[in-house]
């Protein structure tokens, strides 16, 4: 069984969903330190003048992700929904999906991780991603060292194969994974190009860009339906 692990992100890009589709189980990593300036509370959509950042305002403080509260004194939900409508209203699939975002933005969310996970699961449902998922804070792993934390999460759910992003090659202690009988494989996602509004193609937009422009069937092809085709041949022996 292949497991992948990632912090919850706000309307992630296609590669996030490719990672999920390449797995048998996915863990939302919500009990590690929140990183300012990350994609946990922001992402980009495309407008006529280039990238537009959608940023969920959060209250300051050095906390773990699951404890980061949204600053609802700012009227960010109205602004985000307005930006999505303004820039995607003329796309082919706008009417198919906009009601889902209207519903999400009609609630007052208290924590960024809860908002992120709900949005991601909504997109799972739209695309038809049936990968089992869980939340790390519910697994009661107290280990803080990053490599051992991943290893213990893998063992907790009974897997011997961990799917890492390609950047993991730069910081993971692969010998430690071998010693703990966890095989490591690496994601091999190549971002596709598709018909976008507003000029030449721009990579790494939020998945909402592909969803409104191309529809769920095409998006599912982009992120890959066969986990064996989505991963590279780089492994470590367990």
What residue numbers bound the domain in which 178 lies?
Answer: 2-235
Q: What is the CA radius of gyration of the chain?
A: 18
Range 200-207 average pLDDT = 96
Q: Which two tokens stand for residue 67?
A: 């404890």
- Mean per-residue pLDDT for 24-52? 95
pLDDT tier at 233, thresholds 50, 70, 90: very low
Exposure on the CB side of residue 166, measured as CA atoms within 13 A: 10
Q: pLDDT, tens digit, for every residue of 118-177?
A: 999 999 999 999 999 999 999 999 888 999 999 999 999 999 999 999 888 888 999 999
If one counts the domains in the chain, the total is 1
Is the pLDDT score of 21 beyond 50?
yes
Dist. CA 152–CA 157, nearest whole Å: 9
User: Residue 218: pLDDT above 70?
Assistant: yes
**Greater confidence, 44 or 143?**
44
Claim: this prediction has a pTM higher than 0.75: yes
- Mean of pLDDT over the chain: 93
């Amino acid at each position: 069984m292949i497991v992948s692990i990632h912090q919850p992100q706000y309307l992630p890009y296609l590669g996030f969903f490719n990672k999920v589709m390449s797995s048998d189980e996915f863990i939302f990593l919500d009990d590690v330190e929140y990183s300012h300036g990350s994609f946990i509370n922001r992402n980009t959509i495309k407008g006529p003048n280039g990238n537009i950042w959608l940023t969920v305002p959060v209250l300051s403080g050095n906390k773990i992700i699951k404890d980061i509260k949204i600053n609802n004194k700012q009227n960010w939900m109205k602004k985000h929904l307005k930006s999505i409508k303004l820039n995607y209203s003329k796309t082919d699939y706008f009417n198919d999906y906009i009601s889902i975002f209207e519903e999400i933005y009609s609630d007052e969310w208290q924590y960024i991780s809860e908002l992120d996970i709900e949005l991601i699961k909504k997109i799972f449902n739209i695309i038809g991603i049936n990968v089992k998922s869980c939340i790390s804070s519910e697994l009661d792993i107290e280990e803080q060292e990053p490599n051992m934390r991943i290893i213990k999460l893998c063992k907790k759910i009974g897997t011997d194969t961990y799917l890492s992003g390609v950047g993991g090659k730069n910081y993971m202690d692969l010998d430690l994974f071998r010693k703990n009988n966890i095989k490591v494989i690496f994601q091999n996602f190549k971002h596709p190009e598709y018909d976008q509004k507003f000029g030449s193609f721009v990579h790494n937009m939020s998945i909402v860009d592909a969803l409104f422009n191309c529809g769920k069937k095409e998006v599912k092809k982009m992120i890959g339906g066969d986990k064996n085709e989505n991963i590279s041949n780089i492994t470590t022996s367990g």
